[in-house]
Structure 1
Amino acid sequence: MFKRTRLSIAVAVSLGSLCINSSYADENLDSQASGSNGSTLEKVTVTAQKREETVQEVPAPISVLSGDKIREASLNSANEITRFIPNTSAGTTDGHGRPRWWIRGLGTGDQGANTVSPVGIYMDDVYISNISATGFPLFDLDRVEVLRGPQGTLWGKNTTGGAINFISKKPSFKEDGYYKLDAGTYANRAVEGAVGGALVDDKLAARVAIRHQANDGYSENKANDNDRGALEDDAIRLQFLAVLSDDLEANINFHSRRYHDTGSSSSVNYGTGRNGNNQFGYHVDPKQGDVYYNAKNSASIEQDGGNLNLIWQLGDLQLTSITALESFKRDALSDSDNTPLELQRSYAYANSRQFSQELRLASPSTDRLNWVAGLHYFNEDLDSKGANGTLDNTYINRSYNRVAYDQQTESYAMFGSVTYNFTDDFSLTGGLRWTRERKSIDLNRVANVGQASFGGGDWWKPENVTSALGVTALQDESNTWSDWTYDLTPQYKLSENARVYFRYSKGFRSGGYNAGVTTQSTVATVDPEYLTAYELGLKSEWFDGRLNANANLFYYDYKDIQLNIVSAVNNQTVSRLANGAQGEAYGAEFELEAIPLDNLHVNFGLGLLHTEFTDYTSGPNDYSGNKFVRAPNVSAVIGADYRIPLNVGGAIVVGTDWDTRSRQYYFTNDQSQNMRSGGYTLGNARLTYELPGGKTEVTGYVHNLTDKEYRSHTLPGGFQSAGVMFGDPRTFGVSLTSRF
């Protein structure tokens, strides 16, 4: 049910690809002018192996989501792309603020700003280290490439699970652009658009894109009858393309984001004691849309960056240089106990600044022996502060603690990948990368001695704590890790339309430090983790380009796993990083894309996954046999769209997509009934009127068509309680999109 049904207005480009691996809608638009019926799937070009090739030629499991599909489906947050790809998932703990990524059960839910993800996230080939900085809005993108399995050779050390590359639409010398207006329930409104073209003919082109989204949130704070969960998200991207000579091209990309929300829109804490009460007799039946807060909830993000991409053609060789600067700042307050009681509130601040430089030299891919070689440098300076406090003693004594740390990271890598085509049908690819990384941390934790007392001003600042504070944990340490990652991939061409490959790969995630310290005994240096993967895959095309059918089987041997262990310590939810566990995962994936009838496009993906910790002990507890986090045994996606041409011109397009997942767990250690989600299925539908000429469309859409209530996350709480976050309810919207 809805609290309100307020409509507002939003903007984006024309309905695009209703599929994952093609730009089918663009093909339809072009076919109207040419007289073709657009009855074959388009070949999609990707750069997953650092050179251009079609997605069906890449001997690796890769899914592609087109920019048109993203706009057509009205996706807002980066994590929403995973609803179209099996064996992947992503969660966010506040609005669009902090996505966490998983591929085939590999990922991390650790909230420490210094924790790197085993899924590497890239924006225009630039690695983003801070996970919280990977939620940049989805607008004016060319495509998103999702690579499953270790990608350590070409993409770097922290890609044991895979890599996701968000690729923006580049400037061209042809004038073009789009706009989109979108309005929906819960006062959702979005404005999006881009314009580009030549500034100097054949020499200088530019493209600017903007996006604004806001909504009022769908939750109501029952503690004071106020709404919670509203957000505003603004972003801009400005690019210049310069042809400096016949052999040298430069692309400059500037981007900026400003984001603000009023806290997680769906967190509610309920009692796990007798009769559903917590330790103090507080009782609530958790329900989607109802929250209970007495402390301020808010998060603000400032994100800025720029990169320079230079491409030199040196005879038959191509040299690529990517220089990038990124900065990310997050400031947040929250009611940590999610109740009207004064039990705990928290503050978090993180400021990261990173610089990276990549040089890459590639031979022509058409040569019998072809190769890519390169160097990579990365440097990050991270400043983080976090505090927890209880301000009055209605239920418990006043308390205060604060963890602050500075971490510096510097890494160097050299890499290469070689392919030799023994015959027209058989090729062998081998890759090797060496990485050296140094990290240093200066950490300090303080806590109240006796009962805490607070003066005026911001409670989270130690200078405003008037009682005595004592140091409970210190760490001043530097460590250097270095290792090799590699892969070997033979590929055999069965026929003109089918290829089979086997991929053996080794990846590692760099070591680090536990930022979730509570005492000196919890100070820890975490060693690197390692993954060995074996994969057998098939890629094929059938019926004169009307059907793509891909499948793969995989097995993972996972060692020294970096674990996010979450528990209630002294009635406070604590997340700490540790490692030493072993595990295995195996499964299969099937992906089909077809045009069975003219104007009908369908796609289907199925993921089967088994995960298990084969050796996992923490203190006196043995968690061996537990499942990996966010790793449902079955995940499936299916979508279809049918275009009905009209005699008067234009068309009606009917589309839908569905995503189903079986039971999944949110923590490696606690996999009790309260700390997991049952299986669920989510569906979306849309109806589009395409005006004559194919440039403008009006779309009505419904997300979560069946209004399914499901858990998107859970948390162990103190004082005999637990927390739950619900996924979004059913929403309606209408959009107007136009290209020019």
Structure 2
Amino acid sequence: MFKRSTLSLAILASLASVVVHATDGDTPKTEETSAAPTLGKVVVTAQKREESVQEVPAPITVLSGEKIRDASLQSASEVTRYTPNASAGTTDGHGRPRWWIRGLGTGDQGANTVSPIGIYVDDVYIANISATGFPLFDQERVEVLRGPQGTLWGKNTTGGAINFISRKPTFSPEGYFKVDMGNYANRIVEGAVSDALVDDKLAGRLSFHHQGRDGYTENINDGDDKGALEDDAVRLQLAARVNDNLDANLNVHARHYHDTASYNTVSYGTRPDGTNQFGYSIDPKLGKANFNAKYQAEIDQAGSNLNLVWQLGDLELTSITAFEHFTRDGWTDSDNTPLELQRSYSYADSQQWSQELRLASPRSDRLNWVLGFHYFNEDLQSKNANAALPNVYVPSYYNNVSYDQKTESYAIFGSTTYNFTDDFNVTAGLRWTRETKDIDLERLVNRGAASFGDGHWWQPGNIDSPLIVNATQDESNTWSDYSWDLTPEYRISDNARAYFRYARGFRSGGYNAGVTSQATVAKVDPEYLTSYELGLKSEWFDGRLNANASVFYYDYKDIQLNIVTAVNNQTVSRLANGAQGEAYGAEFELEAIPVQNLHVNFGLGLLHTEFTDYTSGNDDYSGNHFVRAPSVSAVIGADYRIPLNVGGAVILGTDWNTRSRQYFFTNDQSANMRTGGYTLGNARVTYELPGETTRITAYVNNLTDKEYRNHTLPTGYQTAAVMYGDPRTFGVSVTTDF
């Protein structure tokens, strides 16, 4: 059923005697029992209340804040490199991630497209995919939940949910400061400070992050434009003990991101001789770009959320009120050549606010439950322009798609667990969601040859030639439906539990923003997923080994597809649905301390995906694979601590992940539009000074300098663009805790 690479089999063979689990990628704090080290307990809130990750009947990967900091993870998308059957490729530096779990995700970068992977920051749902590439700093942990999470986490969690949890203020002084310097002029400065502002009543925490870096490519068209990025973020939190029964936490945060083509993009001609339509020969040399138009992205984010927790006798009431504002301006040379063939501009402005209320009974009750209400409102404005300015290669043209979309959604949900015996319980959850989306869209095109004024080419007011409307949409639609889960769980022994999870999720409907004519204006219906999963969670050898496994089957219907084609030599990404598909696979996750001071983790994902019924026009793509769904993915890591007689320690660490072939598009799965299998490895050496408060780490990422495709895009005129993953990077960091 699955094709395993030789490397994957070698990894499995090497782990025959030492099995490990990726639940917590960090070297855990150990507990001493007769001088024997054990794995520490990892607490999560995956079911909206605190409990051990090993007690949750669902597949969850957890990364601790220490792991994120020590491994120098820089962008939110990097957490998936420790998670089997998950990926989050990005083609815009640290912006615009593409999230996938078990083959479910979306490559559509339209501002109005929601992902089937729900992204949450401190329990707040972030609707705009482009707003989920934020930097990672001062994190408590990250929880990655695989499989439909529609009951407790919302409608748009068909494939899973990822929750980024910030460290909270403390009533005693603490904090950290970190400096990181590396190649490509990479520099990171981040830190946090926390303390009581009013004894036992009010505490504050201020966290900040700055990263600057040169780009990975040089623009040989002008000889000196190497690209760069700057990423700055700050977060202020205030925690108040209002009284004995009420706690409050206010989180105010902001980010500014600037990118000038820092990523690794190479273009090539698709004709047999390597030229494009005009006979222009493109040398696809890694590290060299060749474009003549502006490449830049500017992102600004700001928001706040207020979390209140009341203790009402034995019950707990939680309120989460949040507001988020996101803007993005982006310019690209769409053809990635020094010829004047294409250029593009995109703008998005999203304002969302949400309110969630949850009432929960004690988890220890024989019958325990969570009831909740969620409200969401978003106002989204978007503009996208494409043009070819007057030149000798192609006729000049101009088009502009602008729209205003308003979304209002509310849901009621509940989940209850009944313990029939000490060893057997059943959890059942149900959520009803109603959502309304209004869109006002207009597409302008030039009539005759386009001519441009001296100002900004992307603004309609700067086009001297007449513009006509060739597509409009003024529409309102409401969708409502149920999602649910049913999970019986049986305790086999004191250290092993088996569960079966039957769940249904859906992703709400929407609109195709990639219109090219009135005929392409479309409403997209909701998609539905039914999941069947059997899992096991267990602990062995007096707490020195955790071993988890799961097998699953997905029945996927009315799939919302991102179809990418070249229309009139312009790259067009449109959203459509109606296809059917299936996915099935298995995951194994293990974690162990085989000997004192050695911590090892391993995760293996096996996956088969297929569109069972997929036609578009006269084309039949049935039998194609899901996007970014490798049949084999494996992660392995180890940390070995060597105590020094003079105090302190040396810590040796490494982690590797391997993935088999992946496809970038649902329709075109030819050799040019996919990536072969690859393996990436990272290594680090840390000197921990006596006192264990200061660490000096030397690290290398992509140790073998592996060249691998992160994305490929048809750009028209018999030209394509390849976005490569990060090359080998290295550096030194110093971290001090206080």
TM-score band (shorter)?
A: over 0.9
Structure 2 residue 38 is the aligned partner of structure 1 residue 40: yes
TM-score, with structure 1 as normaliser? 0.96
Partner residue, 1:620? 618
Displacement after TM superposition at 1:19 (Å): 8.2
- Is the 2:21–2:590 Cα contact (8 Å) retained in structure 1? no
Partner residue, 2:365? 367
For 2:545, the aligned partner's letter is: L
Unpaired runs of 5+ residues, structure 1, are 1-17
Distance 1:605 1:288 in 2: 31
TM-score, with structure 2 as normaliser? 0.96
Partner residue, 1:674? 672
- Is the 2:186–2:212 Cα contact (8 Å) retained in structure 1? yes
Partner residue, 1:65? 63
Distance 1:78 1:229 in 2: 21
For 2:542, the aligned partner's letter is: D
- Is the 1:23–1:66 Cα contact (8 Å) retained in structure 2? yes
Partner residue, 1:133? 131
Distance 1:23 1:627 in 2: 30
Structure 2 residue 455 is the aligned partner of structure 1 residue 457: yes
**What does the per-residue CA deviation read over 1:574-629, in whole Å, with 9 as the maximum and x for residues that have no partner?**
00000000000000000010000000000000000000000000000000000000
Partner residue, 2:342? 344
- Is the 1:37–1:598 Cα contact (8 Å) retained in structure 2? no
SS of the aligned residue for 1:274 comes to coil
Partner residue, 2:319? 321
Distance 1:597 1:276 in 2: 55
**What does the per-residue CA deviation read over 1:241-267, in whole Å, with 9 as the maximum and x for residues that have no partner?**
000010001000001000001025212
Structure 2 residue 307 is the aligned partner of structure 1 residue 309: yes
Displacement after TM superposition at 1:232 (Å): 0.1
Partner residue, 2:376? 378
Distance 1:230 1:536 in 2: 46
**Which one of the candidate residues 218, 221, 224 is aligned to 2:219?**
221
Distance 2:122 2:34 in 1: 34
**What does the per-residue CA deviation read over 1:171-213, in whole Å, with 9 as the maximum and x for residues that have no partner?**
1112100010000000000001000011111100000000000
Q: Superposed, which structure 2 residues align to 1:37-436 within 5 Å? A: 39-263=37-261, 265-436=263-434
Distance 2:168 2:413 in 1: 27
Displacement after TM superposition at 1:286 (Å): 1.8
- Is the 1:20–1:69 Cα contact (8 Å) retained in structure 2? no
SS of the aligned residue for 1:516 comes to coil
Distance 2:310 2:335 in 1: 56
SS of the aligned residue for 2:92 comes to coil
**Which one of the candidate residues 548, 551, 563 is aligned to 1:550?**
548
Distance 2:500 2:21 in 1: 27
RMSD over aligned Cα atoms: 1.3
- Is the 1:22–1:42 Cα contact (8 Å) retained in structure 2? no
Distance 2:308 2:363 in 1: 19
SS of the aligned residue for 2:300 comes to strand
- Is the 1:603–1:639 Cα contact (8 Å) retained in structure 2? yes
Distance 1:403 1:229 in 2: 28
**Which one of the candidate residues 504, 513, 523 is aligned to 2:511?**
513
- Is the 1:171–1:196 Cα contact (8 Å) retained in structure 2? yes
Unpaired runs of 5+ residues, structure 2, are 1-19
Distance 1:232 1:723 in 2: 24
Distance 2:22 2:633 in 1: 16
Distance 2:262 2:694 in 1: 36
For 2:551, the aligned partner's letter is: L
SS of the aligned residue for 2:489 comes to strand
**What does the per-residue CA deviation read over 1:72-111, in whole Å, with 9 as the maximum and x for residues that have no partner?**
1101011111111000000112110111100000000101
Partner residue, 1:6? none
Displacement after TM superposition at 1:342 (Å): 0.4
Displacement after TM superposition at 1:24 (Å): 5.5
Partner residue, 1:564? 562
**What does the per-residue CA deviation read over 1:352-375, in whole Å, with 9 as the maximum and x for residues that have no partner?**
000100000000000000000000
Partner residue, 2:10? none
Query: Relative to structure 1, is the Cα distance of residues 558 and 676 closer, same or farther in structure 2, using a 3 angstrom cutoff?
Result: same
Distance 2:475 2:93 in 1: 35
Which stretch shifts more, 662-671 or 391-400? 391-400
- Is the 2:21–2:548 Cα contact (8 Å) retained in structure 1? no
- Is the 2:535–2:550 Cα contact (8 Å) retained in structure 1? yes
For 2:65, the aligned partner's letter is: G
Distance 1:603 1:597 in 2: 13
Distance 2:194 2:390 in 1: 56
Displacement after TM superposition at 1:26 (Å): 6.3
For 1:373, the aligned partner's letter is: L
Partner residue, 2:593? 595
SS of the aligned residue for 1:227 comes to coil
Displacement after TM superposition at 1:470 (Å): 1.0
**What does the per-residue CA deviation read over 1:702-730, in whole Å, with 9 as the maximum and x for residues that have no partner?**
00000001101001121112111111111
SS of the aligned residue for 1:80 comes to helix
Displacement after TM superposition at 1:226 (Å): 2.0
Displacement after TM superposition at 1:228 (Å): 3.0
For 1:80, the aligned partner's letter is: E
- Is the 2:686–2:695 Cα contact (8 Å) retained in structure 1? yes
For 1:408, the aligned partner's letter is: K
For 2:540, the aligned partner's letter is: W
- Is the 2:177–2:735 Cα contact (8 Å) retained in structure 1? yes
Partner residue, 1:693? 691
Partner residue, 2:13? none
Partner residue, 1:5? none
**Which one of the candidate residues 26, 29, 35 is aligned to 1:27?**
29
Distance 2:270 2:212 in 1: 35
SS of the aligned residue for 1:463 comes to helix
Displacement after TM superposition at 1:38 (Å): 7.2
Q: Superposed, which structure 2 residues align to 1:441-456 within 5 Å? A: 441-456=439-454
Distance 1:637 1:268 in 2: 28
Distance 2:107 2:261 in 1: 18
Distance 2:677 2:448 in 1: 46
Partner residue, 2:606? 608
For 2:407, the aligned partner's letter is: T
Displacement after TM superposition at 1:35 (Å): 11
SS of the aligned residue for 2:89 comes to strand
For 1:507, the aligned partner's letter is: G
Distance 2:130 2:85 in 1: 22
SS of the aligned residue for 2:391 comes to coil
- Is the 2:21–2:592 Cα contact (8 Å) retained in structure 1? no
